[in-house]
Chain A
Amino acid sequence: NAGVTQTPKFQVLKTGQSMTLQCAQDMNHEYMSWYRQDPGMGLRLIHYSVGAGITDQGEVPNGYNVSRSTTEDFPLRLLSAAPSQTSVYFCASSWTGFDQPQHFGDGTRLSIL
């Protein structure tokens, strides 16, 4: 049981490039979410999903896309990377809601030059 697995762990991009951050969980959790963590700002919700085929926006969704075709996977796409998207990105999952323990991945440290 690997829990929540994120890849890659580190990535450097140039402004304007696109990329996909991968997130997979093997706990059969319904809820999955993406957060970004910036110094002094805590964890801010980007997008989340309450089940396969269902996604919704969080607090800071601009510049990011998500999809949820399977229960296990929830990739985050940066459409056209900007320096303001330099951050540490965490994926999390939980059984059936935000009012339950969130299981976080190890994070992806992303730098946009």
Chain B
Amino acid sequence: GENVEQHPSTLSVQEGDSAVIKCTYSDSASNYFPWYKQELGKRPQLIIDIRSNVGEKKDQRIAVTLNKTAKHFSLHITETQPEDSAVYFCAASGADFGNEKLTFGTGTRLTIIP
């Protein structure tokens, strides 16, 4: 089955600086890569996703890049703000029957230092 590794497990950045979280996946058939944000005591919520036919996607201060050859994808947050403090999870899903389930990384706790 799919295996998703996420690094780093914790990340602290000064407010206004950029944050980058990286994930690698094992199944070359995976073709959907979402990122979820989970604030303390809250539900995970989708913040951005990318499909394998696209190399990069941006939404305001958030961007995701995908390198299918190397099987890794990254979340970039620019101009960080205190409300960006949360745990971020990457995930991967395939399209073929039997590997279509969503596999999550172990999470990155991002702390924005005012």
Contacts and interface: CB of A to CB of B under 8 A. Distances in A.
Contacts of B101: 45, 48, 58-59, 98
Interface size class of A (residues with CB under 8 A): 20 to 34
Q: Which of B36, B44, B93, B105 has the most CB of A within 10 A?
A: B44
Contacts of B6: 42
B100 A97 contact: yes
B73 interface: no
Interface size class of B (residues with CB under 8 A): 20 to 34
Contacts of A105: 43
Contacts of B106: 40-42
Given A40-B106, A42-B104, A42-B105, A101 B43 contact: no
Contacts of A58: 101
Nearest to A40: B106
B102 A98 contact: yes
B45 interface: yes
Chain A: interface secondary structure?
Answer: loop
B100 A43 contact: no
A58 B104 CA distance: 12
Interface in B63-89: 89
A16 B78 CA distance: 49
A90 B43 contact: yes
26 contacts: A33-B102, A40-B107, A41-B106, A42-B6, A42-B105, A42-B106, A44-B104, A58-B101, A59-B101, A59-B103, A90-B43, A97-B93, A98-B93, A98-B100, A99-B51, A99-B93, A99-B95, A101-B46, A102-B34, A102-B36, A102-B44, A102-B46, A104-B44, A106-B42, A106-B43, A107-B43
Interface of B: 1, 6, 9, 31-32, 34, 36, 42-46, 49, 51, 89, 91, 93, 95, 100-107
